[in-house]
Amino acid sequence: MATKVTSPSVIYQRFMKFLEEFAHKQEKILASQTGAFSRSHYRSSKINLFHFLNTSIIGNGSTLSDLSMNYFGMGSVRPSASALVQTKAKTPVSVFSALHKATLALCYMDKKYKGLRVIAFDGTNEPVAPNEDEPDYIIYAKNKETIIRAGIHINAAYDVLNDKYLAIVTQDQRSKDERAAAMKMVKEIHEAYPGETFLFVMDRGYFSYPLCKLIESLGHKYLIRMKEREYSCLTYTQLDHTEDQQISRILTHHQRKEEKENPQMKYLVKKSMRQIDQESEFIDFDCRVVAIEIGDNVWEGLITNLDEAEFPPEALGFIYHLRWRIEQSFSWLKYGIGMKRIHSIKAEYIIQEIYSSLIFYNLVSEIKKCVLESSQSDNKEEKQTTYEYQINTTKAIRAIRNTFTPKWTKKRTICQITKAEFQALTEELLREKLPVRPERSFKRNLHPNRLIWFTYR
């Protein structure tokens, strides 16, 4: 994990230095494998991998021509929209995925809840333009001809206390499986952060016995909201009263008479059994199931392996409420950063844009945290206020993007951002603070997931 930084200028300089080194290494790899980003490529293009990655991450604009103009300036010096598309084609998604993982090492993530890193899992749909060359991303009507919508399903792992996206798994509409994606992200996070203990928090639809057993086997904790039917099948009670109980079951794929008559036995399809253990016919499953009231006769069923003494039902309710932050971050990601403003039709190119948005979101989060903590340490003697304050994320995205968009010299080199500009950025972020009201809640207004596309050039 990176060391703590107290200046946006240091974060920016460290990020840009890392990005330049990363791009240089990837150029060599791609040149040796595919011939991309070789000298012959540079003679036919005005953009190298560093500028392409930086444009993708920091760039702002509706069409590709706007992106190029905002980043490179106007005139014959800027690459055309076609050049950007050609560079997209030469850059595999794996480069963006590797960059996202690598930049996480630059982030200082120290916030925990009772010694646990709290990670929320959730999925969201990225609407895309229907591309009949990639039918797996399209949902058709029953007649198999009328297109209802098209999209890429994004499964995300989000550190709710440190405000960082740690991992994503993208899926098409036909193979969408949030539970399988969750298992993949659990393994990825476990390998990326050895020695740390995580608490994985998930909404309804994620609960599965293989997922719970996997998290427990790796030494981590889970807290998952259950559907009412799942709750009743596991506890043999209705979800209509407060309770906190330890459950012990024996999982099996057999449906013989002796298994059916034994209330301790829980039937599980053979495929799920094999996900847990390839050989065993009987698997012990121990958990804690809690029912809490969240409104007038509105109940919530939670399954967990957290200790009852250290984490009473009130604490579980608080932890689960933290999960809502991933929903807020999706809104900032899609509308503040502009992940919904797609510039491509091919799914691979759109996934590049998704990773670029995640990288920029993490960068913005790191700068917000740095500025706010530095401000609080400088003003320790100020009088106590009713609320804690946070930086307005939407305004921060605009200010940081405006500051980090390159300004070019006559010799076509990027001007260094001055100390005065960084000071102005800090002042701008601190002007746009909002009170934190943790007890506020609003009714969720659902509406169709509309597509915002700029696939024309």
State pLDDT tens for residues 333-358: 999 999 988 888 999 999 999 999 99
The conformation of residue 91, written as its DSSP 8-state character, comes to S
The yes-or-no verdict on residue 412 having pLDDT over 80 is no
- 222-279 pLDDT, tens digit per residue, is 999 999 999 999 988 888 888 899 999 999 999 999 999 999 999 999 999 999 999 8
Phi, psi of 80 (to 5 degrees): -75, 170
Residue 11 has pLDDT above 80, yes or no: yes
Helices (H), 193-225: 209-217
Q: How many CB atoms lie within 10 A of CB 82?
A: 12
**In this predicted model, which residue has the larger pLDDT, 147 or 183?**
183
Taking 50 as the threshold, does the pLDDT of residue 44 lie above it? Answer: no
Nearest to 393 by CA among 348, 363, 349: 363
50-64, 127-141, 155-169, 183-197, range with the lowest pLDDT? 50-64
CA dihedral angle for residue 31, residue 409, residue 398, residue 26, rounded to 10 degrees = 10
> Bigger pLDDT: 452 or 202?
202
pLDDT at 99: 97
Q: Radius of gyration (Cα) for the chain, nearest Å?
A: 25
pLDDT at res. 36: 77
Whether the predicted pLDDT of 455 surpasses 70 = no
pLDDT digits (tens, 9 = 90+) for 360-378: 999 999 999 999 888 877 6
- Lowest mean pLDDT of 40-44, 74-78, 405-409, 438-442, name the range: 40-44
Give tens-digit pLDDT for 194-205.
999 999 999 999
pLDDT digits (tens, 9 = 90+) for 80-126: 888 889 899 999 999 999 999 999 999 989 999 999 999 999 999 99
The model's confidence at residue 303, banded by pLDDT at 50, 70 and 90, is very high
Nearest to 284 by CA among 247, 251, 256, 236: 251
Q: Which residues sit opposite 434 in a β-bridge?
A: 390
- Tell me which residue of 181, 164, 170, 184 sits closest to 118, measured CA to CA: 164
pLDDT at position 40 over 60: no
What pLDDT score does 446 carry?
62
Residues 128, 138: Cα–Cα separation, whole Å: 9
* 43 confidence band (pLDDT: 50, 70, 90): very low
- Residues 39-45 have a mean pLDDT of 51
126, two tokens: 């990225």
Q: What is the pLDDT of residue 34?
A: 82
Global confidence as pTM: 0.92
Determine the 3-state secondary structure of 222 from DSSP: strand
Identify the helix (H) or strand (E) that includes residue 395.
Answer: helix 393-404
Where do we find the tokens 């060391």?
3
Does the pLDDT of residue 74 top 90, yes or no? Answer: no
Q: Pinpoint the alpha helices (H) of 44-167.
A: 49-58, 64-72, 81-90, 93-104
pLDDT at 318 over 60: yes
Under a CB-based contact definition with an 8 Å cutoff, are residues 150 and 128 in contact?
yes
**What amino acid is encoded at 175 in this protein?**
S
Q: What percent of the chain stands above pLDDT 70?
A: 91
pLDDT confidence tier of residue 298, bands split at 50, 70 and 90: confident
Return the C-alpha torsion angle 180, 183, 189, 190, nearest 10. Answer: -160
- pLDDT of 101: 96
Write the CA distances from 430 to 13, 111, 345, integer angstroms: 21, 22, 39
Phi, psi of 409 (to 5 degrees): -85, 175
Under a CB-based contact definition with an 8 Å cutoff, are residues 182 and 121 in contact? yes
In angstroms, the first-to-last Cα distance of the chain is: 40
- Quick check: 379 pLDDT over 70? no
State which amino acid sits at residue 218.
L
> Which SS3 state, helix, strand or coil, does residue 62 take?
coil
Q: State how far the Cα of 51 lies from the Cα of 48, in Å rounded to an integer.
A: 6
Over residues 309-320, the mean pLDDT reads 93
* Among the ranges given (106-110, 224-228, 293-297, 308-312), the one the predictor scored with the smallest mean pLDDT: 293-297
